[in-house]
A = this chain, B = another copy of it.
Amino acid sequence: MKSKSSTIRFLYASSDDSADVLYLGGVFVPDPYLSILTAKKSYAVVNRLEYSRVKAKSNYDEVMLLEEIKPKAAELLGLAKADVGPGELMCYFAQRFAVKKVEVPADFPAIYYAVLHEAGYSLKVKRGPFFPKRQKKTDAEARAVRQGNAASAAGIRAAEAVLRESVIDGKRLVYKGRVLTSERLRTIIDQVCLEKGAVAKNTIVAGGRQACDPHEAGHGPLRPNELIIIDVFPRVQKTGYHGDMTRTFLKGRATPEQRKLVAAVRGAQAAALAAVQAGAKAHAVHAAAENHFAEAGYKTERSGNRFTGFIHSTGHGLGLQVHEPPSVSTKKEKLKADHVITIEPGLYYPKIGGCRIEDVVRVTEGGYERLSRMHYRWEIR
């Protein structure tokens, strides 16, 4: 048992909802459960459905059975067994470990925060990442991300093959005798990801004006001579790590404006990549992309309800979450060796179209190592 001055840390989430919990436990638990961290050991409290599996497969130093702990907690707290919820369980463990200070992650459920607060514990919510170490990827984690990107690339290559085989019929693309839609191409991409062991959600296949809204997934018929953004960020089922890659294609003939736009995005990606190395400021990487666009004459501005130009950040951390720290944007963060980040500048002008090109790199002392691989040819005649 710890001294009164020490801190106990609680997490309460499922491994699906919390990358921190998956990182800590290393085991798949679909419903929320309690993880406990003291200075020396980690504990999990799981119900009988999870007990034998978590005991056999997880990283926890000790796994406890909820059905055994509940009556003990009820007794210590003087409550009926039915009134012992997760918050009361936490109070029980805080008493058992004789601590007064409790630390929880930013996304900890408010309902248990309130229970602990009312019970008089001194509560601290960790600002920023709960496990800062999670940003630095080990070799095994980098391989896991690479596998995710291989699934992305396989999906994008399948899409490219479909576009190549498609024929232009007036203002539509026809594939195997039927009109090619965003939805149909997305299904093909996602099915290929599954073959590679990864589940893709919210895959973006957006052409023309739709592509100018970066969070529009795309719907309806795809058209010739329009830029089509394909952004695939599947999660490998076995490890939980993600891939995240984007390529922009055009079936037919590009206009000079479209060619200039794509070249600018490629140039911005190269400029941003050239700025990546351990110790570099993330906002300097973002500025490199911004400056490239400014020099090429592309403005970022508002027109009515829409925003055009380079309207998002240059990148984000990638791992057990699709979006995790560090942010490669105007925010003040420093890149460190073994950070894994995306570099994905884009330009969006409804009259020309949208283009985004995204790859994933692992930061090294002198620069970066690529974790995604796929060619950049984009005009498909």
Contact = CB atoms under 8 A, between A and B. Distances in A.
State the number of copies, please.
2
Interface in A219-264: 237
Nearest to A216: B53
Contacts of A121: none
A123 B110 CA distance: 10
A215 B30 contact: yes
A378 interface: no
A51 B52 CA distance: 47
B106 A108 contact: no
Interface stretch (A88-96, A195-203, A351-359): A195-203
A62 B242 CA distance: 35
Given A49-B311, A202-B30, A55 B110 contact: no
Interface string A177-202: 00000010001001100110101111
Interface residues of A, number: 52
A1 interface: no
Given A194-B187, A323-B31, A109 B107 contact: yes
A214 interface: yes
A368 interface: no
Contacts of A51: 305, 307
Contacts of A127: 111
Interface string A111-137: 101100100000101010000000000
A214 to B, nearest CB: 6
Contacts of A110: 104-110, 113, 125
Q: A29, A30, A216 — which one has the most chain B CB atoms within 10 A of its CB? A: A30
A217 interface: yes
Nearest to A348: B49
A217 B114 CA distance: 35
Given A108-B109, A114-B113, A305 B217 contact: no
A175 interface: no
B201 A195 contact: no
Interface string A18-31: 00000000001111
A312 interface: yes
A215 B50 contact: yes
Nearest to A115: B125
Contacts of A373: none
A306 interface: yes
A333 interface: no
A305 B63 CA distance: 11
A365 interface: no
A48 interface: yes
A162 to B, nearest CB: 15
A107 to B, nearest CB: 5
A141 interface: no
A61 interface: no
Q: Which A-B residue pairs are the 3 nearest by beta carbons?
A: A108-B110, A106-B111, A110-B113
16 contacts: A30-B202, A49-B312, A52-B305, A105-B110, A106-B111, A107-B110, A107-B111, A108-B110, A110-B113, A114-B125, A183-B197, A190-B194, A190-B199, A191-B195, A194-B194, A199-B201
Interface of A: 16-17, 28-31, 48-53, 55-56, 104-111, 113-114, 117, 123, 125, 127, 183, 187, 190-191, 194-195, 197, 199-202, 213-217, 237, 302, 305-307, 311-312, 323
